Structure 1
Amino acid sequence: MEIQSYSGGCFPEVGMNSSHCREMSWIESVLYVYMGSGQPIPVTDLRNRTTSMDTSNKVTSDYVRRAIPRDVWAEIFGWLSKPDPGIMILDPYGGAIYAVPEAATLFPHRGGMLYNIYYMNYWAVSSDGEPNVRWIRDLYAFMAPYVSKNPREAYFNYRDLDLGRNVVVGNVSSYEAGKVWGEKYFKGNYERLALAKGKIDPDNYFWNEQSIPPLVHESNFPY
């Protein structure tokens, strides 16, 4: 397991020192995280939209409100040693994030949140990605007791169609069906977003599998 560091810090609790670190710019880290250290892709290729990196990936996310026990982390590290493993990135929360009320913006994951977990696995498009996808799904299932609940929260920018897809009824995405994924991403703000979509795009012209449904048609209202 390779550890990246941008400060040259030392973490004796996990047996880490500066020899385990690799210093790089932020933009270099983008390629490193997605492609690994063995990929000969220059940073300049990020500006070339016709360049194929020849990889596919699967991502999902979780939020953690209570510290995960030490013995559970020992099991998690075992997942990272399994065949066809992906990566886990922990993004710490707190500070100014806590200062903004949950309903003030569409982003609700604020007070009391310790960190976000980003799960990712990638593979060459020429290979069978089923083991890599299964690794993500199995680890996600394992983590269920240790992450947020009711709903099990997720970060919208790490979209995962396993969380649910829009159900189209009469050419319009169903508000009720969209709750399956919408409340994971937006919690109580999902309804407000749907009402806004109803004013801006009532005919649901701008659509994808997890686009906000318009809350204007009588069959879509929650009351």
Structure 2
Amino acid sequence: MSWIQSALYFADFPANGPVNLLLNRTQMTTRFFKAKSDFVTEPVSETGLKGIWNRLYEADEPQIILSPYGGRISEIGESEIPYPHRDRYIYEIQHLVYWDKEGIDVANKNINWMRRFYRYMAPYVSKSPRAAYINYRDLDLGQSRNGTATYSQARAWGVKYFNKNFKKLVQVKSKFDPDNFFRNEQSIPTVPA
């Protein structure tokens, strides 16, 4: 599958549809989801796998994506680039649950299922910190109002996404964006010089 085909597939367009579909920015369907992520450092036990399987039957449309690690990715040191999740991880997991119906009850049912599933996974995933993948931003890890978190507030999610690299990222951001122009609910904070 080419990059263009992938983009079209994930954008919910037919892969060989006309170019004007790309220019039409209206959403074709309404779809909701909740996602969380984890990193695994040791193989999940048979008991753990059975528990995962049983819990997947509780949700209407759950999904788990396992991304293997190792090989060349582990040759880059944890502190060489901001992304720290390298040699000590076997794979990364993205946990998802989807739903199509609008309404607070349906949303709460699915979000609560995801949170229970995430709690179940705690013994089987990384610890101190429980690592998370930045591109699957998880506001349950903590968030600030308008990207104005203090260092200690942002540490709640920053260490999970960046481990020991969080401190260095704060220093870099403070130097190059001292006014905190680039910010979101889980952005790297700035600190006074």
Paired letter, 2:149: S
Change in CA separation of 1:34 and 1:75 when aligned onto 2, cut-off 3 Å: farther
Question: Is the 2:79–2:164 Cα contact (8 Å) retained in structure 1?
Answer: yes
1:129 aligns with 2:122: no
Question: Is the 1:87–1:119 Cα contact (8 Å) retained in structure 2?
Answer: yes
1:42 aligns with 2:20: no
Change in CA separation of 1:51 and 1:64 when aligned onto 2, cut-off 3 Å: same
Change in CA separation of 1:56 and 1:206 when aligned onto 2, cut-off 3 Å: same
Question: Equivalents in 1 of 2:156, 2:74: separation in Å?
Answer: 26
1:190 aligns with 2:161: no
1:42 is displaced (CA, Å) by 2.4
Equivalent position of 2:144 in the other structure: 166
1:104 is displaced (CA, Å) by 0.2
Q: Percent identity?
A: 42
Equivalent position of 1:146 in the other structure: 124
Q: TM-score, normalised by structure 2?
A: 0.86
1:157 aligns with 2:135: yes
Q: Within 5 A, what are the aligned runs for 1:17-32?
A: none
Structure 1 residue ranges without an equivalent (≥5)? 1-23, 36-40, 218-223
Paired residue for 1:179, among 155, 167, 171? 155
1:144 is displaced (CA, Å) by 0.4
Equivalent position of 2:63 in the other structure: 87
User: Residues 95-146 of structure 1, C-alpha deviation per residue, up to 9 Å, x if partnerless?
Assistant: 0111000000000000121000001112225242111111111000000011
Question: Equivalents in 1 of 2:54, 2:10: separation in Å?
Answer: 20
Structure 2 residue ranges without an equivalent (≥5)? none
Runs of 4 or more, structure 1, over 4 Å off, are 24-35, 44-47
Change in CA separation of 1:154 and 1:83 when aligned onto 2, cut-off 3 Å: closer
1:201 is displaced (CA, Å) by 1.1
Equivalent position of 2:189 in the other structure: 213
Question: Equivalents in 1 of 2:89, 2:188: separation in Å?
Answer: 24
Equivalent position of 2:35 in the other structure: 59
Q: TM-score, normalised by structure 1?
A: 0.75
Question: Equivalents in 2 of 1:89, 1:135: separation in Å?
Answer: 17
Question: Equivalents in 2 of 1:84, 1:74: separation in Å?
Answer: 18
State which structure, 1 or 2, has the greater radius of gyration over its C-alpha atoms: 1
1:116 aligns with 2:92: yes
What SS does structure 2 have at the residue aligned with 1:122? strand
